[in-house]
Chains A and B, each alone.
Chain A
Amino acid sequence: MMRFLLPLAAFIVLVGFLAVGLGLKPREIPSPLVGKPAPVFQSPRLHEPDQILSSKDNLGKVWLLNVWASWCVSCREEHPLLVELSKSGIVPIYGLNYKDKPELALQWLGQYGDPYTVSVVDPEGRIGIDYGVYGVPETYVIDKDGVIRHKQIGPVTIESLEKKILPLIKELQG
């Protein structure tokens, strides 16, 4: 009896490990910045390069910081959702135009719509490093005290919006 039970048990354990492994997303690395104050940045606006936006101006409100670029293919995937979200007026979305050329970025927004209250530029990816950005698009939920509450790696989806981001925003705004 043991002759069969033992290999069977080992096999089941192995299948269990593999099943869990299939569900893991190695590309999504938990950010150590969640629960920490969002790094402060002062950067020129995309539309008005002579004006500087400071992230400190957003203290007191819940906001989203969406890292995007015109060269980023997955950004196009999530873009319609962001446009819709901005129309709903639930939460202001600020854009971080990551390692992009302003003219291409403006053209891109013209083509696909501009959901951003303000976009700031980060041509060399320095703000990106401060925020631990390693793959655009990334979206941060930042609360009234300027603390990062959630980081979405990769495109925002209807599922992630409904299950995580919107309930969290509601809770933080309440």
Chain B
Amino acid sequence: MIPDLLNTRGRKQIMLLLTLALLSPLNWAKEAAPVAEDPVIEKRMLALSEDLRCLVCQNESLAGSRADFANDLRREIREQLKEGKKDQEIIDFLVARYGDFVLYNPPMKPTTYLLWIGPFAFLLIGAAILFFYLKMRRRQIEEPSLTDDQHRHAESLLKDDKGNNA
């Protein structure tokens, strides 16, 4: 194999590869790839944008959306992280511009009470309805108790029945 590589054709190929390898840094210079530039910041950015809503495609997080808008905001978050801003400062920055709607984890305040408490209120209402319904039903299907006379009457009927069947 090695002598094979050293023949003229092999040498040419190696030269070509080397030239390409030397050329490629010129390609990097065009635009710095924003992703994975700094893994720590990228990780923090992703963790942060996981809990933020993309306003263009409202069921997607900023981390998961491919919308141009989400891309811009990820860039903004990345830059602010690089400036040394804390997560909370960045969240405040976005809330000041886009409102609480941008948060997947909205704060507890009068306008969001219904949002936070609503499901539990419905659960309580449902449990109460179920409780009273079951209680009512139990009363309806309660076995009527028989008097001694009725017992005897029933037994005689059953005996009769047996006699007939036999």
User: Measuring CB to CB, which residues of chain A are less than 8 angstroms from any residue of chain B?
Assistant: 26-27, 29-33, 99, 124-126, 128-132, 134-135
Contacts and interface: CB of A to CB of B under 8 A. Distances in A.
- The prevalent SS among residues of B at the interface is helix
A125 B70 CA distance: 12
- The prevalent SS among residues of A at the interface is loop
B97 A33 contact: yes
Given A26-B58, A134-B56, A31 B72 contact: no
B97 A132 contact: yes
A40 to B, nearest CB: 14
Interface residues of B, number: 15
6 contacts: A29-B101, A31-B98, A32-B99, A33-B96, A99-B68, A132-B99
Contacts of B73: 129
A99 B69 CA distance: 10
B99 A124 contact: no
A129 B99 contact: no
Contact of A125 (B56, B72, B95): B72
B55 interface: yes
Contacts of A130: 97
Q: Which 8 A-B pairs have the closest CB atoms?
A: A132-B97, A134-B55, A32-B99, A29-B101, A125-B72, A132-B98, A134-B69, A129-B76
